[in-house]
């Protein structure tokens, strides 16, 4: 059954790749030794407990459908009459022994209705497996993006720590040359200490992020991650953006599947109103004459106290509930897609600005401040302010890029198509 989930994960991965190909690539082909997001998603699909649960649910639904198609078992019956009485019926002298079977005959299409209910429940279980695969992809994507962002924040902090150390050395030279006061060196030392502490803190966060990702995919990660994934931004668009349709999404397909189960339940309740026949062919032996005779019996229950109307009313109410929940789901999905699309677009705008003009301006300001500080044209406070602004802008750019990637992953999860649920060729039905 894991092959079904693996196939679903492969389909969702291919769909994500196809969607990513519609956006401009900001990096060249992946170098060797890079552990990609798609590899992480497929690895997680083979070790996630949710996959085991989904596979077990499909197996249970398949067994339930097999059970629904079985006919009722016949009943072996035995009966001894005219014994332990008085007169000629004393003892076993006049005993009549009857041995036969009672064969239930279902009427009203009950077996077909049961199979329809079980088949609908099996389709719902397979759809739940697709939902599980999509959820796994979202979880792994978010962990992957968080890990890449944490490692980039660590690299930025290390670069700032290196710059702070250089500023401290420069301040020491200026103090020794009598060109600056000792306060300037102390201020640079405080900046260096804070930068080193920030490196230590971000190191722990990066290690924790990588550990969480490795725990999710069920294997250690020794190689590098695809850091270029963080920089992929969509092309600029003008005018209104078309909202993806909600008709074929997993959430709406799940609501449709629940409605199909409820419809099948109504048909089963109606079929159960038809009484079943019990046919009992038997063989009777008469002890007194040592003769045998055939016996045939037919019985049918009388629907006097339970005529099945209450069961139909219950199934109809459940069907109405499923239909109403389907309408609610349609509204919720459309609203969630609209909000996620707006959030992704806003995150892309923020990331494009933070990682573009804002970062370039901060880098240029820091470069000018370093040159001016070395030449004595700018004071140390100007340099520290420029470096602090650059560090904050770099972190803001990383956060903005990570927010966009997570928002895009959430949008992909909401708009994931339900066509992947048709993969069932490897199931043992």
pLDDT at residue 22 above 90?
Answer: no
Same-domain status, 40 and 145: yes
Sheet strands (E) in 107-265: 224-225
Average pLDDT estimate for 407-424:
76
Tell how many helices (H) and how many strands (E) occur in the chain: 9, 6
* Among candidate residues 99, 95, 96, 97, the one with its CA nearest the CA of residue 77: 99
Answer for the pair 351, 397: CB distance below 8 angstroms, yes or no. Answer: yes
95 and 133, same domain (yes or no):
no
Looking at residue 385, what is its pLDDT? Answer: 82
Which of 23-27, 301-305, 325-329 has the highest mean predicted lDDT (pLDDT)?
A: 325-329
Phi, psi of 56 (to 5 degrees): -65, -35
Q: Are residues 217 and 297 in the same domain?
A: no
pLDDT category of residue 8 using cuts at 50, 70 and 90: low
Confidence label for 238 from pLDDT (cuts 50, 70 and 90): low
What is the reported pLDDT for 89?
A: 67
CB 316 within 8 A of CB 256: no
Mean pLDDT of 148-157: 94
| pTM score, whole prediction | 0.79
pLDDT over threshold 50, residue 64: yes
Name the helix (H) or strand (E) containing 64.
helix 49-68
- The residues facing 286 across adjacent strands are 96, 291
Q: Containing domain of residue 170, as a range?
A: 2-71+106-273+308-422
Angle among Cα 16, 20, 22 to the nearest 5 degrees reads: 125
Give the DSSP H or E segment for 262. Answer: helix 250-271
- pLDDT number for residue 429: 38
Strand 277-286, strand 96-105: pairing: antiparallel
pLDDT, tens digit (0-9, with 9 covering 90-100), for 307-327? 999 999 999 999 999 999 999
Contact 120, 264 (CB under 8 A): yes
Torsion of CA 172, 174, 180, 182, to 10 degrees: 10
Asked whether residue 24 is assigned to any structural domain, the reply reads yes
C-alpha to C-alpha distance for 91 and 119, rounded to whole angstroms: 56
Q: What is the pLDDT of residues 112-149, one digit of tens each?
A: 999 999 999 999 999 999 999 999 999 999 999 999 99
| 252, two tokens | 């709406």
CATH of the domain at 53: 1.20.1600.10
Whether residue 157 has pLDDT greater than 90: yes
> Who has greater pLDDT, 151 or 429?
151
**Mean pLDDT of the chain, nearest integer:** 84
In a domain, 120, yes or no: yes
- What per-residue confidence (pLDDT) applies to 253? 93
Return the pLDDT at 263.
Answer: 96
CA max distance for the chain: 139
Joined together, the tokens standing for residue 392 give 């904050």
**Which of the residue ranges 15-24, 113-122, 269-278, 375-384 would you say has the lowest mean pLDDT?**
15-24
pLDDT at 113: 95
Q: For residue 420, give the DSSP letter.
A: G
Q: Report the pLDDT value the prediction gives residue 20, as an integer from 0 to 100.
A: 43
Nearest partner of 409 among 144, 110, 195, judged by Cα: 144
Q: Report the number of distinct structural domains present in the chain.
A: 2
Q: Which of 147, 142, 157 is nearest to 201 (CA)?
A: 157
pLDDT: is 381 or 273 the higher one?
273
Domain membership of residue 428 (yes or no) is no
pLDDT surpasses 70 at 31: no
pLDDT at 372: 82
| Dist CA 96 CA 98 (whole Å) | 7
User: For residues 33 and 86, what is the distance between their CA atoms, to the nearest angstrom?
Assistant: 97
Residues 372 and 391: their CA atoms lie apart, in Å, by 19
Q: Has residue 222 got a pLDDT over 70?
A: yes
Distance CA 363, CA 348 (A): 21
> Is residue 254 in a domain?
yes
Q: Is residue 255 part of a domain?
A: yes
Task: Indicate whether 58 and 97 sit together in one domain.
Answer: no
DSSP element (H, E) containing 78: strand 75-81
171 and 297 part of one domain: no
**62 within domain boundaries:** yes
CATH number of the domain encompassing residue 303: 2.20.200
Distance of CA 109 to the CA centre of its chain: 37
What does the pLDDT look like over 329-365, one tens digit per residue?
Answer: 999 999 999 999 999 999 999 888 888 888 888 888 8
User: What does the pLDDT average to over 163-170?
Assistant: 83
CA distances from 316 to 97, 124, 272, 298 (A): 48, 19, 14, 33
């Amino acid at each position: 059954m894991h092959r079904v989930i693996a196939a679903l994960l492969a389909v969702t991965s291919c769909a994500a790749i196809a969607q990513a190909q519609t956006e401009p690539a900001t990096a060249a082909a992946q170098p060797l030794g890079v552990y990609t997001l798609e590899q992480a998603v497929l690895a997680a699909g083979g070790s996630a407990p949710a996959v085991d649960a989904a596979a077990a649910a499909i197996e249970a639904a398949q067994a339930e459908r097999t059970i629904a198609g079985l006919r009722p078992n016949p009943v072996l019956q035995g009966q001894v009459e005219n014994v332990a009485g008085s007169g000629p019926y004393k003892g076993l002298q006049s005993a009549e022994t009857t041995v036969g079977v009672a064969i239930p005959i279902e009427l009203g299409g009950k077996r077909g209705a049961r199979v329809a209910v079980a088949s609908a429940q099996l389709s719902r279980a397979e759809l739940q497996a697709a939902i599980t695969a999509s959820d796994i992809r979202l979880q792994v994507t978010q962990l992957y993006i968080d890990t890449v962002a944490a490692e980039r924040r660590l690299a930025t902090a290390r670069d700032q720590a290196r710059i702070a150390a250089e500023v401290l050395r420069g301040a020491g030279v200026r103090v020794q040359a009598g060109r600056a006061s000792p306060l300037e060196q102390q201020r640079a030392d405080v900046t260096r200490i804070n930068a080193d502490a920030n490196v230590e803190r971000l190191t722990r966060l990066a290690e924790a992020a990588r550990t969480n990702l490795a725990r999710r995919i069920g294997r250690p990660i020794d190689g590098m991650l695809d850091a270029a994934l963080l920089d992929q931004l969509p092309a600029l668009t003008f005018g209104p953006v078309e909202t993806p349709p909600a008709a074929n999404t997993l959430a709406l397909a799940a609501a449709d599947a629940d409605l199909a189960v409820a419809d099948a339940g109504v048909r089963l309740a109606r079929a159960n109103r038809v009484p079943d026949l019990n046919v009992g062919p038997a063989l009777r032996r008469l002890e007194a004459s040592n003769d045998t005779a055939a016996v045939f019996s037919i019985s049918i229950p009388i629907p006097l106290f339970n005529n099945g109307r209450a069961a139909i009313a219950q199934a109809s109410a459940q069907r109405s509930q499923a239909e109403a929940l389907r309408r609610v789901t349609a509204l919720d999905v459309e609203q969630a897609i609209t909000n996620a699309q707006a959030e992704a677009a806003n995150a892309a705008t923020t990331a494009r600005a933070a990682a573009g003009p804002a970062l370039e301006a901060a880098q240029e300001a820091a470069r000018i401040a370093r040159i001016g500080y070395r030449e004595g044209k700018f004071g140390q406070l100007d340099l520290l302010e420029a470096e602090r602004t650059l560090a904050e802008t770099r972190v803001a750019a990383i956060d903005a890029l990570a927010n966009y990637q997570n928002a895009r992953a959430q949008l992909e999860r909401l708009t994931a198509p339900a066509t992947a649920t048709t993969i069932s060729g490897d199931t043992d039905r």
